[in-house]
């Protein structure tokens, strides 16, 4: 089946304690493991080892993002395809990465480092697998999203990035933003039958725009905004609705300036989903349906 979903995002922070405090106390993730200058965190409903790695580094940024593939055969098949496209692939052996086995790493055309891995440790989620409660215990700390959902990266050449993600990696295009000449300015891509597992929008190569946590409901979006405001976290945009994906959302920044999102809603994106096309003159509503304005802070600010 190939790539299944976003597995984890690995970021750098110059203040590991502050970032850890934020992701545990305000986002509500749990620390799974600490190793020297690295902290591994997961959400309560995630079966696998972690969905966020924080690494101490003087400069905020993203080390890599990692997608889960179904089988080792898929991994090898994708290795061949990526190399055939012209991207050198590095194999990272079992034991070199915490919480997972062998993986592949390569630089995608827009400059970010991507990882593919089939073998993730699966310690299981909070609720268990035998007569589980359908809800987490009352009194969870912070926003407590059940899981990471998607990410958005920038690319100078969105068309090239799109080609790589669809032709080489097998992503499907759910939505696209075209300029007046029909060139791609943004693409939304999925493997998990959701509106997007990764989106790529015009901007500087190498940049991370945001990563997003899933919430179950519009009321949880409000609760997230309440928790953020209560804790003095600056909200970037929202609560609002996207035209693209239809989802409801709040954007905000972690203490070192990495943009986070909480996201809910959207359609069921089956593999036969016909692509939606946005034109630049209508994209105000595509970006933020209620505001109908293309926020330069939103588009130009990234990690």
Structure tokens, 167 = 């032709």
> 58 vs 272, which CB is nearer to a second copy?
272
Q: Which of the ranges 56-64, 77-85, 234-242, 255-263 carries the binding residues for a second copy, by CB under 8 A? A: 234-242
Distances (CA, A) of 125 to 32, 183, 197: 12, 42, 21
Q: List the x/- string, 277-296, binding to a second copy by CB under 8 A.
A: xxx--x--xx--xxxx----
Among 147, 196, 210, 259, contact with a second copy (rule: CB under 8 A)? 147
* Nearest residue to 277 via CA among 192, 174, 189, 201: 174
Q: List the x/- string, 74-103, binding to a second copy by CB under 8 A.
A: ------------------------------
Distances (CA, A) of 157 to 14, 105, 200, 260: 30, 21, 10, 24
Can 150 be counted among the known catalytic residues?
yes
Can 261 be counted among the known catalytic residues?
yes
Binding to a second copy in span 180-219, by CB under 8 A = 192-194, 214, 216-219
Can 196 be counted among the known catalytic residues?
yes
Q: Which of the ranges 104-112, 155-163, 237-245, 294-302 carries the binding residues for a second copy, by CB under 8 A? A: 237-245
Among 58, 180, 271, 297, contact with a second copy (rule: CB under 8 A)? 271
Three-class DSSP category at 219: helix
Tell me how long the chain is.
303
Q: List the x/- string, 156-185, binding to a second copy by CB under 8 A.
A: ------------------------------
Distance CA 65, CA 75 (A): 16
Structure tokens, 65 = 């993002």
Q: Which residues on neighbouring strands pair with residue 109, listed in sequence order?
A: none
Bridging pattern class, strands 113-117 and 61-69: parallel
Q: Which of the ranges 11-19, 79-87, 122-130, 200-208 carries the binding residues for a second copy, by CB under 8 A? A: 122-130
Three-class DSSP category at 53: strand
- Written in H, E and C, the secondary structure of 274-300 is CCEEEEHHHHHHHHCCCCCCCCHHHHH
- Peptide linkage before 239 cis (omega within 30 of 0): yes
Q: Which of the ranges 74-82, 89-97, 202-210, 229-237 carries the binding residues for a second copy, by CB under 8 A? A: 229-237
Q: Closest distance between a second copy and the C-beta of residue 118, in Å?
A: 10
Distance CA 235, CA 201 (A): 21
105: contact with a second copy by CB under 8 A: no
Which residue in this structure is represented by tokens 């989620």? 125
Q: 266 phi and psi, to 5 degrees?
A: 90, 170
Catalytically annotated residue among 46, 115, 175, 261: 261
Q: Closest distance between a second copy and the C-beta of residue 82, in Å?
A: 21
72: contact with a second copy by CB under 8 A: no
Distance CA 110, CA 266 (A): 27
Among 93, 95, 181, 272, contact with a second copy (rule: CB under 8 A)? 272
Can 251 be counted among the known catalytic residues?
yes
Q: Closest distance between a second copy and the C-beta of residue 213, in Å?
A: 12
Q: Closest distance between a second copy and the C-beta of residue 209, in Å?
A: 20
Can 76 be counted among the known catalytic residues?
no
Q: List the x/- string, 127-146, binding to a second copy by CB under 8 A.
A: --xxxxxxx-xxxxxx---x
Give me the active site residues, please.
150, 196, 210, 242, 251, 261
């Amino acid at each position: 089946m190939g790539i299944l979903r976003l597995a984890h995002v690995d970021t750098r922070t110059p203040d590991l304690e502050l970032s850890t405090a934020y992701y545990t106390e305000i986002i509500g993730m749990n620390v799974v493991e600490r190793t020297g200058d690295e902290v591994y965190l997961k959400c309560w409903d995630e079966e696998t080892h972690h969905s966020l790695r924080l690494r101490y580094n003087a400069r905020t940024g993203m080390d890599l993002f990692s997608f889960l593939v179904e089988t080792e055969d898929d991994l090898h098949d994708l290795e061949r395809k990526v190399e055939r496209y012209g991207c050198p692939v590095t194999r990272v052996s079992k034991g070199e990465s915490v919480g997972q086995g062998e993986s592949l790493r390569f630089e995608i055309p827009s400059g970010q480092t991507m990882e593919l891995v089939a073998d993730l440790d699966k310690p299981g989620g909070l609720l268990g697998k035998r007569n589980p409660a359908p809800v987490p215990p009352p009194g969870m700390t912070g926003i407590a999203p059940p899981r990471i959902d998607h990410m958005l990266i920038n690319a100078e050449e969105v068309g090239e990035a799109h080609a790589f993600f669809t032709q080489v990696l097998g992503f499907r295009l759910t939505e696209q933003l075209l300029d007046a000449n029909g060139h791609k300015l943004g693409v939304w891509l999925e493997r998990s039958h959701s509106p997007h597992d990764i989106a790529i929008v015009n901007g500087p190569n190498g940049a991370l725009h945001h990563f997003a946590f899933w919430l179950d409901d519009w009321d949880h979006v409000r609760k997230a905004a309440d928790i953020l405001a209560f804790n003095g976290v600056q909200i970037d945009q929202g609560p609002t609705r996207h035209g693209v994906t239809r989802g409801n959302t709040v954007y905000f920044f972690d203490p070192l300036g990495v943009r986070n999102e909480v996201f809910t809603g959207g359609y069921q994106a089956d593999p036969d989903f016909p692509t939606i096309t946005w034109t630049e003159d209508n994209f105000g509503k595509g970006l933020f349906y209620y505001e109908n304005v293309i926020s330069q802070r939103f588009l130009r600010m990234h990690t």
